Amino acid sequence: MSTAAENPNLMEALVSLAKRRGFIYPSSEIYGGLNGFFDYGPLGAELKRNIRDCWWRDMVHRRDDIVGLESSIIMHPKVWEASGHVAGFTDPLVDCKVSKQRYRADQLFFAAVEVFKGITETEGARTVHRVEGSSVTEPYMAAHADVEIIGYVSALESERTKEELQEKAEALKRKKSAKGILHAVKVREFTEATPEEIPLIPSPATGEPGSLTPPRAFNMMFETNVGALKDASSVAYLRPETAQGMFVDFKNVIDTTRVKLPFGIAQIGKSFRNEITPRNFIFRSREFEQMEMEYFIHPDADWLACHEEWLKWCQDWLRSIGLPASHLSLYEHPKEKLAFYSRRTVDIMFRYPFGVQELWGIAARSDYDLQQHQKHSGVPQTWFDEATKQKVVPHVIEPAVGVDRIFLAVLCAGYAEEDVKDEKGNVEKRTVLRLSPRLAPVKVAVLPLLKNKEALTNRARALYKKLQQRYAVQYDDGGAIGKRYRRQDEAGTPWCVTIDFDTIEKPGDTFTLRDRDSMSQKRITEAELFALLEQQVY
Ligand code: ATP
């Protein structure tokens, strides 16, 4: 079996499978595509819907303390002034004046190439360090030997940023025929480059220094105009997050429902960010979908315990949709890098083929958002505490996750290529998507053994029609049964049901149930099939 770690071409294989089988297409492909935008094909639309549905059922329907919301995508522009997005929703942008490429300064790394003037030699089993001919100790070398900066190297963020910079440093040393010992590179973010260093750092596009601009703040919100006039007064924004909908409707929800603190408002919907460098397929796109929940708590509540509870809930949920614990980890944002209103943010990270990256952010946002909206709108954003007879502005714990990032994680974790034997014993390759039955786009494929034998097709059609009332199922009578199994393996269908001669000739009305992962087969009745689905698809 090949997995992310073993298959360096996993992303390529996934992108190809996604296109071939109708999970994901580039948007507007016949016009050459549009960078950062994607379409979800027939199987993709199902998988995405299942991710949303599972989250909604578990987050909203199956809890007593959370209600749903669907707010508009374009909101009053003042919402984004109050939230801080107009002033501060920026990424540091760097231009390469020669190639016209743009980079995010926090995803561009560089290092000074430092060469110790001393030399290190091996004498028999000994390593000897010398500065200008005299032998010195290693600590002396590190502390005293003169260091010369012979140039700079740069690389984009990746799993191998450090190695890449080191390799480039070695290449530069060779190119310049510099004498001495190359120091291990100290990786720095482009945001930390001094004005003197910027002209010396090579552009990743050209490999030459002198063309990169200093970073400047670039607001990522997409602007549009509302109404017939196109001037400053009609400017509005496509929302960059769904969260503000929950804050702006906080009052409406408490006034129209019976919620009491602590309670949450959840929303699933599209968000838009004019990302400088959309990349890694659907991981970072410009139009994406978020599933966010704002959990409002009393200002005196134990926010840390609540944050921990949500952190656990989110990890458990990811495992419940089939993501292996081995691919998940936590990243605690260092205190000094937290937004000023955040008390704590922990990201659940996923091991994607292109590196360990943020999947789900769980932030303790204090009462910042409600306070801001109270200030900017003049409308009190308070909840009346019956116990103390006081009005309080609640604090918030926010788990925010991207549907597309879960989608990609699920594909990465589920994809496998295996050598299997066909009916004649020949070894062939099978591609399989091990999707959890909860998420699989097709739950069951109904396959009549032969397509021109009416007794078989009638029974198969009847079963198919019955299943179709409750589940997404497929009827497939095209080609050899082995081929049909392979087709379903690639689509991630957990079970195939074959209607064969035993079904129609033997008592019991049983079918062959073939399991996608083990490829084992057993006989099963219709009632047992429905019971299996009831238990596994929830
Ligand atoms: P990143 O640091 O990766 O840009 P972020 O910290 O800005 O993400 P949040 O603002 O916390 O992200 O958004 C919550 C979630 O929305 C993220 O954890 C991620 O799953 C998803 N998300 C954010 N930006 C994108 C994007 N451009 N494409 C797809 N999903 C995204």
Residue nearest to atom 29 of ligand 1 (CA): 284
Pocket of ligand 1 (CB under 6 A): 241, 273, 275, 284-285, 288, 290, 358-361, 400-402, 404-405
User: Which residues partner with 296 through β-bridges?
Assistant: 263, 396
Q: Which of 219, 242, 284, 406 to mutate to test the pocket of ligand 1 (most atoms within 8 A of CB)?
A: 284
What's phi and psi for 354, nearest 5 deg?
A: -95, 10
What's phi and psi for 79, nearest 5 deg?
A: -55, -40
Whole-number pLDDT of residue 243: 98
Q: Which of 358, 403, 406 to mutate to test the pocket of ligand 1 (most atoms within 8 A of CB)?
A: 358
What's phi and psi for 473, nearest 5 deg?
A: -130, 165
**42-51: b or e for each residue (b if 16 or more CB lie within 10 Å)?**
ebbebbbebb
Count how many Cα atoms sit within 13 Å of the Cα of residue 69 in the half-sphere of its side chain. Answer: 28
Residue nearest to atom 18 of ligand 1 (CA): 360
- Residue pair 472/458 in contact (Cβ under 8 Å)? The answer is no
What's phi and psi for 397, nearest 5 deg?
A: -110, 130
Residue nearest to atom 4 of ligand 1 (CA): 284
Whole-number pLDDT of residue 6: 57
pLDDT in tens, the chain (538 residues): 444 445 678 999 999 999 999 999 999 999 999 999 999 999 999 999 999 999 999 999 999 999 999 999 999 999 999 999 999 999 999 999 999 999 999 999 999 999 877 777 788 888 887 777 778 887 776 677 678 899 999 999 988 899 999 999 999 999 998 877 788 899 999 999 999 999 999 999 999 999 999 999 999 999 999 999 898 889 999 999 999 999 999 999 999 999 999 999 999 999 999 999 888 999 999 999 999 999 999 999 999 999 999 999 999 999 999 999 999 999 999 999 898 889 999 999 999 999 999 999 999 999 999 999 999 999 999 999 988 999 999 999 999 999 999 999 999 999 999 998 877 888 989 999 999 999 999 999 999 999 999 999 999 999 999 999 999 999 999 999 999 999 999 999 999 999 999 999 999 999 999 999 999 999 999 999 999 999 999 9
